A and B are shown apart, each in its own frame.
Chain A
Amino acid sequence: DSGVTQTPKHLITATGQRVTLRCSPRSGDLSVYWYQQSLDQGLQFLIQYYNGEERAKGNILERFSAQQFPDLHSELNLSSLELGDSALYFCASSKGGHQPQHFGDGTRLSIL
């Protein structure tokens, strides 16, 4: 058990819809990262938050947004969903800086 909790584990929805993925980091970790894993793109970094503030952005689409709340949990919002958004979305947490990242079990998103 990594200590990082992601919900839901599975999500099935239709094109054009909006979903929210939730992540609770390990106790004491201030940094949260979101990654997307798909067959064609592999594991790709989306966005990072540190203690409530956005710190880095990767290949995140404009249809996607995220935030980190005062209690340090984070949410990733995906809107106007397309078939190509089907993927495994991971949240990882670390203490901050160059530190080990620990991954949640992921949310498997299927767009029909």
Chain B
Amino acid sequence: GIQVEQSPPDLILQEGANSTLRCNFSDSVNNLQWFHQNPWGQLINLFYIPSGTKQNGRLSATTVATERYSLLYISSSQTTDSGVYFCGRGGAGSYQLTFGKGTKLSVIP
């Protein structure tokens, strides 16, 4: 089946540091989304990014569909960025998302 792999599995950052999270997928992509699951369990959609680059404040994302990966950049991290970051991939004709296992981010003051 389709595989979605995220790295690193765990990341600990000092407040103010920058980080890059990676998502590799084993097949072509028509739909790539990044989510943040906060400590209360809520899943927040950060980006819908099947290709190209988008920025939203301190966060930006890039998907290189031809090379089957996506990156999420977090700059000047804050403690509120803590949580688990998931990428979800959808392919041609299948609108549901296949998720990776996530990257658990802990930002310490």
User: A interface vs B, CB < 8 Å?
Assistant: 2, 31, 33, 35, 42-45, 48, 55-56, 58, 88, 90, 94, 96-103, 105-106, 108
Contact = CB atoms under 8 A, between A and B. Distances in A.
Given A100-B33, A101-B33, A103-B35, A45 B45 contact: no
A103 B96 CA distance: 13
Interface string B39-83: 001111100101000000000000000000000000000000000
12 contacts: A2-B44, A43-B99, A44-B99, A45-B97, A48-B96, A56-B96, A97-B95, A98-B30, A101-B33, A101-B88, A103-B44, A103-B45
Nearest to B29: A98
Interface of B: 30-31, 33, 35, 41-45, 48, 50, 86, 88, 90, 94-99, 101-102
B41 A98 contact: no
Contacts of B97: 33, 35, 45, 101
Determine the main DSSP class of A at the interface with B. Answer: strand
A97 B90 CA distance: 10
Query: Which secondary structure dominates chain B's binding surface?
Result: strand
A48 B90 CA distance: 13
A108 B99 CA distance: 19
Contacts of A31: 95
A95 B88 CA distance: 17
A43 B86 contact: yes
A90 B43 contact: yes
A13 B67 CA distance: 46
A55 B90 CA distance: 14
Contacts of A43: 86, 88, 99
Nearest to B96: A45
